[in-house]
Structure 1
């Protein structure tokens, strides 16, 4: 196995063009596990840890570009105020050591249906910046996930960054597992409120071949919320929202949980996170009017 260590992103793209089968490695929290268990034996590893620009993030007019090599720990510490949903998901990833190494770019590259950040990226309308020696293209998160551990990257492409708007309203993320972190999610859910657009983002994880939007739930809730004069939600609205979220999933039975349990858990997560997010919105509206 060859080990390639470029010093710049341009060098990395050139090497990826020459060896499309080379597997990128940054934090190594997914790739090294596969290598250790002999689940994967690529012809080459492309080490991205020397490339400083991948570990940078920037913000311009509320639009954030988060380099694919920015670790979860920095997202929590530096971007929690602007990207609260992503920070919440990042807190549930592994141990402190894993959060210091693991990256959103790695999560996207692995494209596991159980990846913790995927529902947040979908609910927040993230766009993935894919780069190659041929140029750069922008892929909406909704078009990025193609199947179990399959993504929309071409063989010669690398993930350069993730683009997100600073959260325009409350965001929440929750997952079910045997404990809060250091565990693969049985199922997960993210919600993002977009008050200015009177729109809702909602997405499920670890409950289908890919992370996916709960489209019917989004449309239902957007029509039920009183955006101009917010008031407490009816329990019937929360229940129906939870039911529609569960219907968006197509889970399987496996060692972590049954399909029926996943659907039930998603309905519960959706009701709870909606309640938390809407309460945050009610509090904000009260403070602004005071």
Structure 2
């Protein structure tokens, strides 16, 4: 195994062009586990830890440009206001040690359905900026996941940053695991309310071959809120609306049985999380109108 350690982004792209099968290494929280367990033995490891810009972020007027290597701990500590859904998901990642090393770029590169960042990124409508020596492009998050642990990256591309719209309404994240900490998600759910456009977005993790949205549930809820005049009035939501939203979200799943949980349990849990995260978010939306922090 050859270890490549570029000193800048341009050197990293050149190395990836020369060795397309090279495995990027940043926090190492996924890659090193697989290597240590003998599940993976790449010919080249491409260490990106010396590229400082990957660990930087910038808040613009409408979006946050988040470097692929910004650790989860910094997202929790510094971006909770701009990216509340992703901050909640980041808080749920493993242990403090892992949160100080791992970042969103690694989650995206691994593309595991159980990655904690995926539901929040889907709910926020993020875009993934990737680059090679041929140029850069931005991939909408909806098109990024292509299969079980597969993504839309071409062999010579690296993830540079993620573009995430600043929250314009409440966001939530929930995760079910076999214990309260240090656990891979049995399933997870992210939700974002976008009052300015009268839309709802969701993200489901670990309940399908890829992270996915519950599109039918989103459309139903947005229409129900609009038809009831609730976006403007911020009034209470009829229980029947929350119940139907939960059922549609559960129906968007295509889970399997595995060592962490059954398909039936996952489907039920997604429905419960969908209802709860929506009600939590809606309560925050109502309180915001009253000037309550």
| TM-score normalised per structure 1 | 0.98
1:239 alignment partner in structure 2: 243
Q: Does 2:272 align with 1:268? A: yes
Displacement of 1:178 after TM fit?
A: 1.8
Q: Match of 1:227, SS?
A: helix
5 Å matches for 1:72-151?
72-151=72-151
Matched, 1:36 2:36: yes
Match of residue 259, structure 1, among 255, 258, 263: 263
Matched residue SS, 1:196: coil
Q: Which moved more, 1:53-62 or 1:106-115?
A: 53-62
Q: Distance in 1 between matches of 2:208 and 2:180?
A: 21
Which string of whole-angstrom CA distances, capped at 9 and with x for unpartnered residues, describes residues 57-87 of structure 1? Answer: 0012131100001000000011011100000
CA distance in 1, matches of 2:64, 2:275: 29
Shift of 1:287: 1.8
- Structure 2 unpaired stretches of 5+: none
CA distance in 1: counterparts of 2:159 and 2:42, whole angstroms: 19
Distance, in Å, in 2 between the alignment partners of 1:165 and 1:203 is 15
The alignment partner of 1:131 has SS state of strand
Q: How many residues are paired up?
A: 288
In structure 2, what is the Cα distance between the partners aligned to 1:77 and 1:135?
33
Counterpart-to-counterpart distance in 2, 1:167 and 1:137? 23
C-alpha distance after superposition, 1:22-78 (max 9, x if no partner)? 000000000000001111110000000000010100012131100001000000011
1:184 aligns with 2:184: yes
Aligned mates of 1:88, 1:200 — CA distance in 2: 18
Q: Is the 8 A contact 1:92 1:180 kept in 2?
A: no
In 2: Cα distance, 1:166 partner to 1:252 partner: 34
Q: Cα RMSD (Å) of the superposition?
A: 0.8
Contact 1:124 1:192 in 2 (8 A): yes
The alignment partner of 1:246 has SS state of helix
| 1:179 Cα deviation from its structure 2 partner | 2.4
1:235 to partner: Cα distance? 1.1
Q: Give runs of aligned pairs for residues 190-209 of structure 1, distance below 5 A.
A: 190-209=190-209
1:279 aligned onto 2:259 = no
Q: Look up the SS of the partner of 2:81 in the other structure.
A: coil
The CA distance in 2 between the partners of 1:249 and 1:180, in whole Å, is 23
The runs of at least 4 aligned residues of structure 1 exceeding 2 Å deviation read none
SS at match of 2:279: helix
Name the SS of the counterpart of 2:291 in structure 1. Answer: helix
Tell me the distance in 1 between the aligned counterparts of 2:287 and 2:39: 49
Tell me how far apart the structure 2 counterparts of residues 193 and 285 of structure 1 sit (CA, whole Å): 14
Provide the C-alpha distance between the structure 1 equivalents of 2:120 and 2:74, rounded to a whole number of angstroms. 17
